[in-house]
Amino acid sequence: MTMSAGDTLTQDHAPVEDVGAHKGIEGRSLGQIAWFRLKHDKIAMLSMFMIILILLLAILAPLITKVLGVDPTTFYRAAVDPDKGFLPKGGPLGSGISGDHLLGVEPGTGRDTLARLLYGARISLLIALSATVVSVVIGTILGALAGYLGGKMDAFISRLMDLLLAFPQLILLIAMTPVFVTLLDQLGVPGTPGRVLYLIVFIGFFGWPYFGRIIRGQVLSLREREFVEAARSLGAGTGHVLFRQLLPNLWASILVFSSLIIPTYIGTEAALSFLGVGVVPPTPTWGNMLGDSVRYARVDPLYLFIPGLALFTVVLFFNLFGDALRDVLDPRGSR
Amino acid sequence: MFRYIIRRLIGVLILMVVISFITFLLFFAIPSNPAALSCGKGCTPTVIKATEHKMGIDEPILVQYGKYMKGLVTGRTFGEGTAVNKCPAPCLGFSFKTDQPVLGMITDAFPITLSISIGAFVLWIFFGISTGVISALKKGTIIDRVTMFVTLATVSLPSFFTGLMLLYFIVIKYGLMTFPSYVGFLDNPYDWAKNLLLPWITLAFLFAALYTRLTRANMLETMGEDYIRTARAKGLSERKVIFKHGLRAALTPIVTIAGLDLGGLLGGAVITESVFNFNGLGRLVVRSSTDLDLPVLVGVTVLAAFFIVMLNFLVDLLYAAIDPRVRLV
């Protein structure tokens, strides 16, 4: 699918785009080619649109909730029934959906589900995106250093990656939580900010070796190329070669890896919060909403399905986009 | 071959010592005050001191690690005088929370994790590979497209959501099953399988989709190779070409991934266990984590790492058996 789109593009687009200021054949950068292909992939464009929409919803959450007149932490006592164990009043499937609370309210407390969903998206996306940055930065720097310098440095970094990959990530992330949350608390980062920081740093940290290996492999072959030799013969230092010569050639991998790892990290954060060891209430995340909803599945199933479907949708669109991006940027990648 | 195995096993041993040391430092070198947590309200510094002494965390960290490793090999005793707690080798210490030996807690939980992982593993290998092969052979058809879309959707379903939906629809709404609870295999194999069915499906769901995509990609690549053309040219039946020449080569990379995935699960299928309230290693970690039960956390983490490292090693051995191009030296 993508392949045929790409093929037609190279034939169709060159004349159209190059009419005007530039005449004749003009070279296009990898970025331009990729963008042309991407623009003609309907699924990619749809998922990109949805991702931007979701990001906007998350960023604008305070504004949206203000307009709707709800708040993620207020207990709307009027929306729950104290005679029936504080379950939501009315609405389909006992969800408490009404004009005031568009997605119903949380059983037990009466907090607005939509407001919690929007604010939850902020935390979940903040953690996933920041952790991705952590993985990518460490993975790129160490992977490139290992590949470029070779020798003892390569041996050391490669062993380090092997070692980290031997650790059971999820188990360790869960097990380390109380230890590090206590530590951050003593260092003056208490409560939710501490937990968010912990998740960003450690989800990101355990992910970098996967990417470091990819980058190392690419740098290994890139460093033998003429342009690197040319730069070095002109007296360029390691820093210049790594960041000015090699990095521009690694952008495709960095983008593809990032877009595929973001949905994984969204899932990891959700799983940890679901288990009650990530971000804890009253701060909402999709994971802890789901974890909380289990008790009410029998009487208020929508409270389980709403955050679950939100999570599924976001991860699906990120996956679709990442897949399309890989097809476009990595011609050798599996189709 | 024999020399290779010995060399690798020594490597495994060294790696495990490093891993246990790092894990130990992670949990015991950072001041998290498990003693204060366990003694609750109305605690006096003297009580905390005594508790710390009993836990063995009042000594320098390297001494603690030394004793821990020694206990692993020769066993050790905790406490003094009348309150002596003997811990035979391999000793992983006593739980801060329940005072039970950590080894016992792990051996109680492990069969549950093992049952969940192995059953799910069989399911996802079977469904993942078969749908992947079909999809590859029918590339571009409606079957292939539907499979590819369904698998992408499945990969995006968080496994706790899959599990919760199964519970909601099958157990709560339509009452097709009772809420699963673990029954030992030796007690009653039928009930064992029946109760594990939902956890198996939950766990296999996620992995099967990944394996479908992986098998399809590998299969497509292999079927484009020259030796497949040669096999066809010499008149082999299509069935033989696909299964003997195509699938065999396409599956070699999958062996690696399957081994690593299984290794990762044996240390605790955390989410599945939690959704279904099965007290496997994963749930043990979740519970011990909130209680700051450090000996249990170290024990399970090191064990989980051991499974990953061992499976890695076994995969390399298996690899040599499957792929004639691989020679172990």
ipTM of predicted complex: 0.86
Mutation site for A-interface testing, chosen from B15, B22, B32, B284 by largest number of A Cβ within 10 Å: B32
The pLDDT, as a whole number, for residue B41 is: 63
Q: Which of B202, B224, B216, B211 is nearest to B259 (CA)?
A: B211
For residue A232, the SS3 value is: helix
Does residue B172 carry a pLDDT above 90?
no
Confidence of residue A8 (pLDDT cuts 50, 70, 90): very low
Domain ranges of chain A: 113-329
Identity of the residue numbered A192: T
- Decide: A173 and A295 in contact? Cβ < 8 Å: no
Closest-CA residue of chain B to A272:
B271
Residues B47 and B169 in one domain: no
For residue range A44-59, list pLDDT tens digits in order: 899 999 999 999 999 9
Does residue B300 carry a pLDDT above 60?
yes
Which residues on neighbouring strands pair with residue A80, listed in sequence order?
Answer: A88
Confidence of residue B78 (pLDDT cuts 50, 70, 90): confident
Residue B225 distance to chain A (closest CA, Å): 15
Chain A contact set for B307 (CB, 8 A): 168
Angle at B86 between CA B81 and CA B90, to 5 degrees: 150
Q: How far apart are CA A162 and CA A149, in angstroms?
A: 18
Q: Phi/psi of residue B77, each to 5°?
A: -120, 140
In chain A, which among 185-204 make CB contacts under 8 A with chain B?
Answer: 186
Closest-CA residue of chain A to B162:
A308
Classify each residue of A48-63 as buried b or exposed e, where b means 16 or more C-beta atoms within 10 Å of its C-beta.
bebbeebeeebeebee
Structure tokens at A184: 């951050």
The pLDDT, as a whole number, for residue A25 is: 66
Q: Answer with the residue of higher pLDDT: A113 or B128.
A: B128
Chain B contact set for A177 (CB, 8 A): 289
The pLDDT, as a whole number, for residue B257 is: 87
Does residue B119 carry a pLDDT above 70?
yes
Mean pLDDT of B247-252: 84
Q: Do B15 and A166 touch (CB under 8 A)?
A: yes
Q: How far apart are CA A90 and CA A142, in angstroms?
A: 56
Does residue A2 carry a pLDDT above 60?
no
Residues B85 and B114 in one domain: no
Chain B contact set for A271 (CB, 8 A): 158-160, 270-271
The parent domain of residue B119 ranges over 103-328
Q: What does chain B come to in residues? A: 329
Mean pLDDT of B293-314: 91
The pLDDT, as a whole number, for residue A54 is: 92
Q: Answer with the residue of higher pLDDT: A88 or A57.
A: A57
Confidence of residue B128 (pLDDT cuts 50, 70, 90): very high
Does residue B97 carry a pLDDT above 70?
yes
Q: How far apart are CA A315 and CA B262, in angstroms?
A: 24
Does residue A313 carry a pLDDT above 80?
yes
Structure tokens at B159: 């496994």
Angle at A190 between CA A184 and CA A192, to 5 degrees: 110
Cα–Cα distances (Å) from B79 to B4, B28, B69, B76, B298, in that order, read: 44, 19, 18, 10, 20
Residues B323 and B200 in one domain: yes
Confidence of residue A312 (pLDDT cuts 50, 70, 90): very high
Q: Which of B108, B98, B74, B105 is nearest to B88 (CA)?
A: B74
The pLDDT, as a whole number, for residue A12 is: 41
Q: Which of A227, A221, A220, A255 is nearest to A241 (CA)?
A: A227
- Whether B256 and chain A come into contact, CB under 8 Å, resolves to no
Weakest-pLDDT range from A102-111, A164-173, A250-259:
A102-111
For residue range A259-297, list pLDDT tens digits in order: 889 999 999 999 999 988 888 888 889 988 888 888 887
The pLDDT, as a whole number, for residue A335 is: 37
- Whether A3 and chain B come into contact, CB under 8 Å, resolves to no
For residue range B220-243, list pLDDT tens digits in order: 888 888 888 898 898 888 888 888
Q: How far apart are CA A186 and CA A166, in angstroms?
A: 30
The pLDDT, as a whole number, for residue A301 is: 84
Does residue A11 carry a pLDDT above 60?
no
Identity of the residue numbered A30: L
Residues B40 and B121 in one domain: no
Q: How far apart are CA A109 and CA A127, in angstroms?
A: 26
Chain B contact set for A326 (CB, 8 A): none
Q: Answer with the residue of higher pLDDT: A286 or A330.
A: A286
Q: How far apart are CA A216 and CA A242, in angstroms?
A: 12
Weakest-pLDDT range from A30-34, A60-64, A135-139:
A30-34
Strands (E), chain B: 76-78, 85-87
Cα–Cα distances (Å) from A2 to A162, A284, A308, A326, A331, in that order, read: 35, 39, 30, 10, 11
The pLDDT, as a whole number, for residue B40 is: 64
Domain boundary among B83, B102, B121: B102
Task: Tokens 């969903």: give the residue.
Answer: A117
Identity of the residue numbered B1: M
Q: How far apart are CA B199 and CA B185, in angstroms?
A: 15
Q: Phi/psi of residue B94, each to 5°?
A: -110, 150
Q: Count other C-beta atoms under 10 Å from residue B74's C-beta.
A: 11
Selecting from A182, A316, A335 the residue whose C-beta is nearest the C-beta of B32 gives A182
- How many domains, in total, are found in chain B? 2
Sorted by sequence, the CB contacts under 8 Å of residue B155 that are 6+ apart come out as A319, B206, B209, B210, B213
Identity of the residue numbered B42: G
Q: Answer with the residue of higher pLDDT: B271 or B58.
A: B271
Which residues on neighbouring strands pair with residue A128, listed in sequence order?
Answer: none
Does residue B326 carry a pLDDT above 80?
no
On the question of a cis peptide bond just before residue B253, with omega within 30 degrees of 0, the verdict is no
Q: Considering the entire predicted model, what is its pTM? A: 0.86
Residues B134 and B82 in one domain: no
Residues B193 and B250 in one domain: yes
Chain B contact set for A294 (CB, 8 A): 164, 275
Q: Do A179 and B26 touch (CB under 8 A)?
A: yes
Residues B95 and B140 in one domain: no
What does the radius of gyration of chain B's CA atoms come to, in whole angstroms? 24
- Whether B158 and chain A come into contact, CB under 8 Å, resolves to yes
Task: Determine the distance from the C-alpha atom of residue B204 to the mean position of all C-alpha atoms in its chain, rounded to a whole number.
Answer: 13
Strands A80-81, B76-78: pairing is: unpaired
Selecting from B31, B159, B270 the residue whose C-beta is nearest the C-beta of A174 gives B270
Does residue B35 carry a pLDDT above 70?
yes
Output DSSP code: residue B180: P
Mean pLDDT of A51-76: 86
Mean pLDDT of B252-273: 88
Structure tokens at A64: 């949206």
Does residue B297 carry a pLDDT above 50?
yes
Chain A contact set for B271 (CB, 8 A): 271, 274-275
Does residue B245 carry a pLDDT above 80?
yes
Q: What is the CATH number of domain A113-329?
A: 1.10.3720.10
> What CATH code is carried by the domain that includes residue B116?
1.10.3720.10
Strands A80-81, B85-87: pairing is: unpaired
Does residue A103 carry a pLDDT above 60?
yes
- Decide: A109 and A79 in contact? Cβ < 8 Å: no
Please name the helix (run of DSSP H) or strand (run of DSSP E) that holds residue B250, with its range, or none.
helix B248-266
In chain B, which among 165-204 make CB contacts under 8 A with chain A?
Answer: 165, 167-168, 172-173
Weakest-pLDDT range from A313-317, B25-29, B42-46, B312-316:
B42-46
Chain A contact set for B305 (CB, 8 A): 166-168
Confidence of residue B3 (pLDDT cuts 50, 70, 90): confident
Q: Count other C-beta atoms under 10 Å from residue B64's C-beta.
A: 18
The pLDDT, as a whole number, for residue A24 is: 61
Task: Tokens 């195995």: give the residue.
Answer: B5
Mean pLDDT of A152-159: 91
Residues B196 and B324 in one domain: yes
Query: What DSSP string runs through A4-68?
Result: HHHHHHHHHHHHHHHSSS--S-----HHHHHHHHHHT-HHHHHHHHHHHHHHHHHHTHHHHHHHH
For residue B94, the SS3 value is: strand
The pLDDT, as a whole number, for residue B80 is: 65
Does residue B134 carry a pLDDT above 60?
yes
Does residue B159 carry a pLDDT above 50?
yes
Q: Which of B285, B262, B258, B318 is nearest to B118 (CA)?
A: B262
Residues B92 and B241 in one domain: no
Selecting from A171, A183, A301 the residue whose C-beta is nearest the C-beta of B270 gives A171
Cα–Cα distances (Å) from B306 to A159, A166, B109, B309, B317, in that order, read: 17, 8, 16, 5, 17
Confidence of residue B328 (pLDDT cuts 50, 70, 90): low
The pLDDT, as a whole number, for residue A334 is: 40
Residues B123 and B218 in one domain: yes
The pLDDT, as a whole number, for residue A187 is: 85
Structure tokens at B179: 């809420």
Residues B176 and B88 in one domain: no
Q: How far apart are CA B245 and CA B252, in angstroms?
A: 12
Domain boundary among B102, B124, B139: B102
Mean pLDDT of B81-88: 71
Residues B286 and B144 in one domain: yes
Q: How far apart are CA B261 and CA B66, in angstroms?
A: 32
Mutation site for B-interface testing, chosen from A4, A159, A160, A167 by largest number of B Cβ within 10 Å: A167
